[in-house]
Amino acid sequence: MTSAAHAVLVVDDDPQLRRLLRTTLDAQGFRVIEAETARRGLIEAASHKPDLVILDLGLPDAEGHTVVRGIREWSSMPIVVLSARVDEQQKIAALDAGADDYVTKPFTVGELLARIRSALRRAVQPAEAGERLQFGEMQIDLAHRHARGLQGEIHFTPIEYRLLAALARHRGAVATQRQLLREVWGPDHVDQPHYLRVYMKQLRAKIEPDPAQPRYLLTEIGIGYRLLSDRDD
């Protein structure tokens, strides 16, 4: 994807990391705006209206999720958060607040670029309820609740369809457990992750050739799930 016009705001307090990101993103043709504090980041986001924000969760002046919430008050621009591996709770808080995806430090440049592109693509073509999913030979029509594989028609229960649709709305990105529980079971069930786990297991059994090595319904352990369909990437 050409991204000549895409502006990326990097909010990070570490000058070395900003330098790395600027060099890499410049080389990929992005226009890079830098901010080193959360406060500065919110100002830059409002004044430059970038196409995407890369937000480090370890900022000294504010919690990452408050920055996400600050941006979400007025914009749906894609936000990709950067965090250390052990900060699961921070990641979840940022994702629940509306961040689109996350990349764990240390990351490879390839990984980061893939996440950025995926997020930008979703911003251009938001997922719709009426779309189709393609998993190998299996095709699922979410609007008409109709699924077909090599062996003919496949049955999904209503909850399974709702779960697939919720995952599809976040396709390519991470959907947290809370988000999925709220979207499928309602706000009363956000503290019952086993509901979600049991249904994910059922979905995998129906969709994945090998549920223990999934290709489409990936687990982001401790965080949530990521749906990849064959139309992505």
Partner 1 sequence: MPDTVFESADEVELIDLPPEDLLQRLREGKVYVPERVRVAIDNFFRKGNLIALRELALRKTAERVDVAMDRYRATEGIGAPWAAGERVLIGIGPRSDGETLVRAGKRLAAALHAPWIVVYVETPDLIRLPEAERNRRIAWLRLAETLGAETVTLGGHSAAAELTSYAKTRNVTRLLLGEPSRAGVARWLRPSTVDQVLARLRGIDVTVVKTTEAMRIARSPLLARSAAFLAAPPSGKRRWPSYAWTTAAVALTSVLAWVTDPLINDTNTVMLFLVAIVLLAWRFGRGPAALASALSVLVYNFLFVEPRHSFEVADGQFLITFAVMLLVGMLIGQLMASVRLQARVAGHRERRTALLYAMTRELAAMRGASSMARAAVRHIGEVFEAQVVVLLPDEFGRLGYPRASDGAPEPASLRGADLSVAQWVQDHGQPAGLGTDTLPAAAARYLPLKASDAKLGQLGVLAVLPANPRRVLLPEAAHLLDTFAAQLALALERSSLAERAQSAAVAAESEAVRNSLLAAVSHDMRTPLAVIGGAASSLVEAGSQLDDDARRDLAQTIVEESAQMTQLVSNVLDMTRLESGLAAIRPEWVPLEEVVGSALRRLQRPLAQHRVSTHLDEAPALILGDPVLLEQLLFNLLENASKYTAAGSHISITARQGFDEVELLVADDGPGFAPDIEPDSLFGKFQRGRAEGAIGGVGLGLAICRAIARAHGGDIRAERRPAGGALFVTTLPQEAEAPAVPRETSVE
**Chain-centre distance for alpha carbon 106:** 18
Stretch that binds partner 1, among 44-52, 93-101, 130-138, 189-197 (CB under 8 A): 189-197
Distance, in Å, from the CA atom of 83 to the CA atom of 90, rounded to the nearest integer, reads 8
Which lies closer to partner 1 via its Cβ, residue 44 or residue 87? 87
Query: Which of 233, 169, 223 is closest to 196 using CA atoms?
Result: 223
Q: How far is 130 from 61, CA to CA, in rounded Å? A: 42
Q: Is 213 in the site for partner 1 (CB under 8 A)?
A: yes
Residue choice 4, 27, 129, 221 for contact with partner 1 (CB under 8 A): 221
Q: Minimal distance in Å, beta carbon 201 to partner 1?
A: 5
- Report 57-116 residues binding partner 1 (CB under 8 A): 85-86, 88, 106, 108
Residues near 206 by beta carbon (within 8 Å), at least 6 away in sequence? 154, 156, 160
Closer to partner 1 at the Cβ: 110 or 126?
110
Cα separation, 15 vs 212, in Å, equals 41
SS3 79: strand
Q: Is 129 in the site for partner 1 (CB under 8 A)?
A: no
Residues touching partner 1, count (CB under 8 A):
32
182 binds partner 1 per the rule CB under 8 A: no
Residue from 190, 200, 203, 227 binding partner 1 (CB under 8 A): 200
Does position 150 bind partner 1 by CB under 8 A?
no
**CA-to-CA distance for 117 and 129, rounded, in angstroms?**
22
Instruction: Tell me the residue length of the chain.
Output: 233
The answer to whether residue 188 forms part of the interface with partner 1 (CB under 8 A) is no
Please tell me whether residue 144 binds partner 1 under the rule CB under 8 A.
no
Q: How far is the CB of 27 from partner 1 (least distance, A)?
A: 14
Distances (CA, A) of 81 to 89, 92, 96, 118, 179: 13, 10, 12, 14, 17
Phi then psi for residue 73, to 5 deg, are -65, -30
Q: Which residues bind partner 1 (CB under 8 A)?
A: 85-86, 88, 106, 108, 145, 155-159, 161, 192-195, 197-201, 204, 210-214, 218-222
